[in-house]
Amino acid sequence: MAEHGSDEPSSRTGSPDGEGRVSADRPLLHQRLAVRELIDTELSYLHMLRLCASDIRSRLQQLPQGDLDVLFSNIDDVIQVNSRFLHDLQETASREEEQVQLIGNLFLEFQEELERVYKVYCASYDQALLLVETYRKEPELQREVQSIIEAVVPQAGPSGLSFLLVIPLQRITKYPLLLQKILENTAPDASAYPVLQRAVSALQDVNTNINEYKRRKEVASKYTKVEQLTLRERLARLNTHTLSKKTTRLSQLLKQEAGLVPRTEDKEFDDLEERFHWVSLCVTEMKNNVAVYRDNLEAFLRFRPQEYDLDIPGGPVVQYCSLMRDLQLQAFPQFQRLEGLVWQPLCSLAKALAGPQNLIKKRLDKLLDFERVEEKLLEVGSVTYEEQEARHTFQALNSLLVAELPQLNQLAVRWLGQILCTFVGLQRDLAQQALQRAEGSLAQLPHYHLSETAFRKLVEDTLGQTGHQLRSFQENFEKVLPPPTTQPLLPGAERQVQALLSRYGPEKLYQVTSNVSGAGTLDLTLLRGQIVALLQNKDTKGNSSRWLVDTGGHRGYVPAGKLELYRVIPSQEEVKGQEWPHKDSRHLTPEPTPAPVPSVPAVTQAVAVYPFVARSSHEVSLQAGQLVTVLEAQDKKGNPEWSLVEVNEQRGYVPSSFLARAPGPALWGWSLPS
Amino acid sequence: MSWIPFKIGQPKKQIVPKTVERDFEREYGKLQQLEEQTRRLQKDMKKSTDADLAMSKSAVKISLDLLSNPLCEQDQDFLNMVTALDTAMKRMDAFNQEKVNQIQKTVIEPLKKFGSVFPSLNMAVKRREQALQDYRRLQAKVEKYEEKEKTGPVLAKLHQAREELRPVRDDFEAKNKQLLDEMPRFYHSRLDYFQPSFEALIRAQVGYYSEMQKIFGDLTQQLDQPGHPDEQREKENEARLSELRALSIVADD
């Protein structure tokens, strides 16, 4: 604290005869005192700052670091600047005559730095105060804090922390006053006078700027928060006040649209806003596109063709697998640095642009308010305090945006450019990595030395050849024919079949797989097992599921689904003659001569091969060698293991396997021993 | 009808030697495995190339959208950078398309062709199985008659049964032999068949990455951005973000 006591002006001791001298010296004296005051207060100020920054801060350990940062803000920077300032101030003391001028110059020198550090401190002071308030509410904590402060700075008094924290604010506002005092006691013709004048206004400017900065920061922080409100929350926020605000704005906007009221054109701002809009668009699109790219990359990496086992022990197949494995394990994970170096920054950039977007919107709202207030001002001549506030808010927002948008645009574009370059760099790195790994395998490839065109021709030719080979395999497999058909031939059918065969040839013969009952006039009714020759594999309307066939007696249509290619059985003699000449040829499986498996045909004669004792009224007894008439070759449930026969005027079921066909007319191709 | 005194169709003697059956199983088993692997490989390869194409297209979109932004009209530097990027991306996309076409021709098509043989093989194996069943059944029948008392009708039946059996057995033997010959040869053919495809595949990849390295290497030169190590890149990103956050109009959270 200033030691006024010992430096009392000697005016009290002035004697009448020294008055003239004293009165001439008075201003000089006051000046000297003012200078003294400046330096002394600076000294104690700095001392206090240092106490706060080191002693007190370090002892307030129970507070979290974040809180301490808020409370003490950039006090270290302030101390740095002020200690240099003090040092220079003290040096001026040696230069007596010029001291005042030097002091003036010193202030002008330090003007910028003072503004820079103090504006930050002042802007965060409010937040610090809020924090102090919360401490006050906790009596326990409050007592501790208070005791620490009192131990170090007894004169802090009960208001403790807030008393200390406000000191820098007091100091910066004091400078103009101190300077003013010196100025008042300086002769207007002194060389120091203009300098001092400039210094005074400079420090006043500093204070104004600090206030403006603070105001802008307040406005910005009020409106930049892009709040994620639910609809319900938004509705809850509506009250008469906000509603009236909004309706007033809307009507203002409508008036503008209708041309009733001139719109404030601000070309400068509009240009800035337009550019900002494009920058935002750029960032958003890029972000979306990179997101899609990432998804596709992920999908691409999901498939690992190298993991399949073709049981091929060496050669290019193995090389390919190990190359792909390498790429997947090493090259591509590297490429996924994309995540942190491209995607994350893009997200941060996009997020950072959200605040300004909001501010621009708010500015428009405030502009409408502003315009209305301007109107009212014109009409009425005065406005309410609130309306004045609205004007100021708009002006603050506007000047803030105009001041900072250019920089924002520039920074955003610059960053975007860097991100793009990183993206490109990553691609190049990936290619480099891949090539490195492939180098080894490449040299081992059998046709490494061939040019690309020569190689492609070679591959084409090779694939052509192997394609041929595959086709021959396929044909060979297809020549493994179905086993001889097990469909029984109806009796008397052999001659018919032979007739059809000689007329149409073996490829045209089909056997009916199940009973066909014709519906239309041209449709045939056929029994299962009947042989027909194919005339047309579609009907007159082009329906290919209806085939025109010749039964040897009749012609008509049958459903194609009920026909199966009939394998003609060559006669036994023919077969013997062939003697399978192509025995070791892969190409032809000679057709064997099986007989159709003798199951019991429908409605025919049969011979009981084994005796059978009926066990129920449904069954009928058989004697070995007995001749029976087969009525049905299956039981009522369709089970072919039982047949309905008639024997000795009795009807009943017997096991089908106990029956054999009667030695009837020789099966085509067969001759039974007599 | 379980009261039938003996089961129809199961011969007593083993008509196909165990070793033969085992060999057949083994060869067919290998082929079934190969079928599965080639089928899945073909499908995956197709999916992989589809994803590859999609990735390339989305890269092109990045530069395309940038190019159509009005910023390009105002900012010459920006325009230059974006144009260079766009050219590079489009060229890469063209190379990628060519690579995929090459893969389609030399790998995916051949895989498909190879796979198309299997249905015929499987059908052939089924028919052999059918023939085997018929063979077994008739064999059982013959054995049945052989065990009976040799009466006249029985002998007649026996003879008939034997006559029926003979061609069926021959048919089966023939099929069996054919398949036992062909299957290993087909299996073996995969070696000659796939090596060219995979060699072509490797070459296609290498060719593509060579172009990629060249194009993006040139581009980084053009953009005057030397390869920074990652930490430096991260620091720069941090720095850019702080610069932005220093502005009052940017919300800090």
Q: What is the pLDDT of residues B42-76, one digit of tens each?
A: 999 999 999 999 999 999 999 999 999 998 888 88
Q: What local confidence, expressed as pLDDT, does residue A111 receive?
A: 92
Q: What is the pLDDT of residues B145-184, one digit of tens each?
A: 888 888 888 888 888 888 888 888 888 898 899 999 999 9
Q: What local confidence, expressed as pLDDT, does residue B32 receive?
A: 94
Comparing C-alpha atoms, which of A117, A133, A107 is closest to residue A213?
A: A117
Provide the pLDDT confidence category of residue A549 given band limits of 50, 70 and 90: confident
Mean pLDDT of the A314-339 span: 87
- For chain A, say whether B207 makes contact (Cβ under 8 Å): yes
- For chain A, say whether B180 makes contact (Cβ under 8 Å): no
> What chain B residue is nearest to A432 in terms of C-alpha separation?
B213
Which of B44, B71, B244 is nearest residue A303 as measured by Cβ atoms? B44
Mean pLDDT of the A585-597 span: 38
Mean pLDDT of the A332-336 span: 87
Does B117 sit within 8 Å of A282, measured CB to CB? no
CB-based contact A531:A500 (threshold 8 Å):
yes
CB-based contact B227:A425 (threshold 8 Å):
yes
| Ramachandran angles phi, psi of B101, nearest 5° | -60, -45
Mean pLDDT of the A53-66 span: 80
Question: Look-up: residue for tokens 């019991």?
Answer: A600
Instruction: Using CA atoms of A45, A46, A52, A55 in order, give the dihedral in degrees to the nearest 10.
Output: -130
- For chain A, say whether B228 makes contact (Cβ under 8 Å): yes
Question: Look-up: residue for tokens 């008036």?
Answer: A255
Q: What is the pLDDT of residues A189-238, one digit of tens each?
A: 888 889 999 999 999 999 988 888 888 777 777 776 655 566 677 777 76
Is the pLDDT reported for residue B115 higher than 70?
Answer: yes
Residue A164, classed as helix, strand or coil, is helix
Q: What is the pLDDT of residues A628-640, one digit of tens each?
A: 888 887 788 777 7
Q: What local confidence, expressed as pLDDT, does residue A593 receive?
A: 36
Higher-confidence residue of A564 and A533: namely A533
Q: Quickly list DSSP for A481-528.
A: PPPPP-PPPPTTHHHHHHHHHHHH-GGGEEEE-S-B---STTB--B-T
**In angstroms, what separates the C-alpha of B48 from chain A's closest C-alpha?**
6
Under DSSP, the state recorded for A261 is S
Q: A10-24, A209-223, A379-393, A553-567: lowest mean pLDDT where? A: A10-24
Q: What local confidence, expressed as pLDDT, does residue A133 receive?
A: 85
Q: Quickly list DSSP for A336-352.
A: TTHIIIIIHHHHHHHHH
Residues of A in contact with B113 (CB under 8 A): 467, 470
Q: What is the pLDDT of residues B116-134, one digit of tens each?
A: 999 999 999 998 998 888 8
- For chain A, say whether B29 makes contact (Cβ under 8 Å): no
Instruction: Scan residues 119-138 of B and list those with Cβ closer than 8 Å to A.
Output: 120-121, 123-124, 127-128, 130-131, 134, 137-138
- Mean pLDDT for all residues in chain B: 87
Q: Domain B20-221 is classified in which CATH homologous superfamily?
A: Arfaptin homology (AH) domain/BAR domain (1.20.1270.60)
Disruptive mutation site among B74, B151, B211, B250 for chain A (greatest number of A CBs within 10 Å): B250
Q: What local confidence, expressed as pLDDT, does residue B226 receive?
A: 67
Mean pLDDT of the B183-212 span: 90
Mean pLDDT of the B232-249 span: 85
Which of A290, A320, A589 is nearest residue B175 as measured by Cβ atoms? A589
Residue A506 CA: distances (Å) to CA of A202, A478, A533, A568 = 118, 19, 9, 6
- For chain A, say whether B24 makes contact (Cβ under 8 Å): no
CB-based contact A356:A408 (threshold 8 Å):
yes
Q: What local confidence, expressed as pLDDT, does residue A576 receive?
A: 38
Q: What is the pLDDT of residues A36-47, one digit of tens each?
A: 899 999 999 999
Which of B85, B113, B243 is nearest residue A411 as measured by Cβ atoms? B243
Question: Look-up: residue for tokens 């207007």?
Answer: A188
The two structure tokens encoding residue A140: 């326990």
Measured between alpha carbons, how far is A467 from B110 in angstroms, rounded to an integer? 8
* Bridge partners for A557 per DSSP: A523, A548
Q: What local confidence, expressed as pLDDT, does residue A228 receive?
A: 57
Does B202 sit within 8 Å of A316, measured CB to CB? yes
Residues of A in contact with B44 (CB under 8 A): 303-305, 308
Does A655 sit within 8 Å of B247, measured CB to CB? no
Does B58 sit within 8 Å of A424, measured CB to CB? no
Is the pLDDT reported for residue A251 higher than 50?
Answer: yes
Is the pLDDT reported for residue A346 higher than 90?
Answer: yes
Provide the pLDDT confidence category of residue A101 given band limits of 50, 70 and 90: confident
Where are chain B's structural domains?
A: 20-221
Q: What is the pLDDT of residues A397-428, one digit of tens each?
A: 888 888 889 999 999 999 999 999 999 999 99
Q: What is the pLDDT of residues A142-161, one digit of tens each?
A: 888 888 888 887 777 777 78
- For chain A, say whether B173 makes contact (Cβ under 8 Å): no
> What chain A residue is nearest to B218 in terms of C-alpha separation?
A428
- Sign, CA torsion A622/A624/A626/A631: positive
Higher-confidence residue of A26 and A300: namely A300
Does A224 sit within 8 Å of B250, measured CB to CB? yes
Burial A8-38 (b: 16+ CB within 10 A, else e): eeeeeeeeeeeeeebeebeeeebbbbbbebb
Per residue, the 3-state secondary structure of chain B, as one string, reads CCCCCCCCCCCCCCCCCHHHHHHHHHHHHHHHHHHHHHHHHHHHHHHHHHHHHHHHHHHHHHHHHHHCCCHHHHCHHHHHHHHHHHHHHHHHHHHHHHHHHHHHHHHHHHHHHHHCHHHHHHHHHHHHHHHHHHHHHHHHHHHHHHHCCCCHHHHHHHHHHHHHHHHHHHHHHHHHHHHHHHHHHHHHHHHHHHHHHHHHHHHHHHHHHHHHHHHHHHHHHHCCCCCCCHHHHHHHHHHHHHHHHHCCCCCCC
Instruction: Scan residues 77-106 of B and list those with Cβ closer than 8 Å to A.
Output: 77-78, 81-82, 85, 88, 102, 106
- For chain B, say whether A474 makes contact (Cβ under 8 Å): yes
A232 CB neighbour count, 10 Å cutoff: 8
Which of B138, B170, B220 is nearest residue A428 as measured by Cβ atoms? B220
In one letter, which amino acid is A383?
V
Q: What local confidence, expressed as pLDDT, does residue A17 receive?
A: 47
If you count residue pairs, one on A and one on B, with CB atoms under 8 Å apart, how many are there?
347
- For chain A, say whether B233 makes contact (Cβ under 8 Å): yes
**In angstroms, what separates the C-alpha of A265 from chain B's closest C-alpha?**
22
| Ramachandran angles phi, psi of A95, nearest 5° | -100, 80
Q: What local confidence, expressed as pLDDT, does residue B85 receive?
A: 93
Disruptive mutation site among B114, B199, B212 for chain A (greatest number of A CBs within 10 Å): B199
Provide the pLDDT confidence category of residue A262 given band limits of 50, 70 and 90: low
- For chain B, say whether A354 makes contact (Cβ under 8 Å): yes
Edge-to-edge, what's the strand order for the sheet holding A509-512? Answer: A555-559, A546-550, A531-536, A509-512, A563-565
Residue A178, classed as helix, strand or coil, is helix
Is the pLDDT reported for residue A669 higher than 60?
Answer: no
Q: What local confidence, expressed as pLDDT, does residue A26 receive?
A: 80
In sequence order, the 6+-apart residues with CB closer than 8 A to the CB of B9 are B133, B136, B137, B140, B141
Does B206 sit within 8 Å of A435, measured CB to CB? yes
Under DSSP, the state recorded for A265 is -
- For chain B, say whether A600 makes contact (Cβ under 8 Å): no
Disruptive mutation site among B249, B250, B252 for chain A (greatest number of A CBs within 10 Å): B249
> What chain A residue is nearest to B135 in terms of C-alpha separation?
A483
Instruction: Scan residues 410-429 of A and list those with Cβ closer than 8 Å to B.
Output: 411-415, 417-425, 427-429
A259 CB neighbour count, 10 Å cutoff: 8
Measured between alpha carbons, how far is A208 from A229 in angstroms, rounded to an integer? 37
Mean pLDDT of the B77-89 span: 92
Report the length, in residues, of chain A. Answer: 674
The two structure tokens encoding residue A25: 């010296």
Report the length, in residues, of chain B. Answer: 253
Does B65 sit within 8 Å of A459, measured CB to CB? no
Comparing C-alpha atoms, which of B27, B60, B66 is closest to residue B187?
A: B27
Percent of chain A with pLDDT over 70: 84
Question: Look-up: residue for tokens 């007033």?
Answer: A248
Which of A224, A422, A589 is nearest residue B249 as measured by Cβ atoms? A224
Measured between alpha carbons, how far is A86 from A100 in angstroms, rounded to an integer? 15
Comparing C-alpha atoms, which of A513, A597, A599, A501 is closest to residue A552?
A: A501
Which of B69, B82, B227 is nearest residue A278 as measured by Cβ atoms? B69
- Mean pLDDT for all residues in chain A: 79
Mean pLDDT of the A305-329 span: 85
The ipTM assigned to this model is 0.86
Measured between alpha carbons, how far is B64 from B86 in angstroms, rounded to an integer? 6
- For chain B, say whether A235 makes contact (Cβ under 8 Å): no
Q: What local confidence, expressed as pLDDT, does residue A362 receive?
A: 86
The two structure tokens encoding residue A371: 């315009």
Distance linking the first and last C-alpha atoms of chain A: 148
A330 CB neighbour count, 10 Å cutoff: 14
Instruction: Scan residues 75-94 of A and list those with Cβ closer than 8 Å to B.
Output: none
Provide the pLDDT confidence category of residue A22 given band limits of 50, 70 and 90: low
Comparing C-alpha atoms, which of B185, B179, B184, B187 is closest to residue B34?
A: B187
Identity of the highest mean pLDDT range in A479-488, A522-531, A571-580, B31-40: B31-40
Instruction: Using CA atoms of B176, B182, B185, B186 in order, give the dihedral in degrees to the nearest 10.
Output: -120
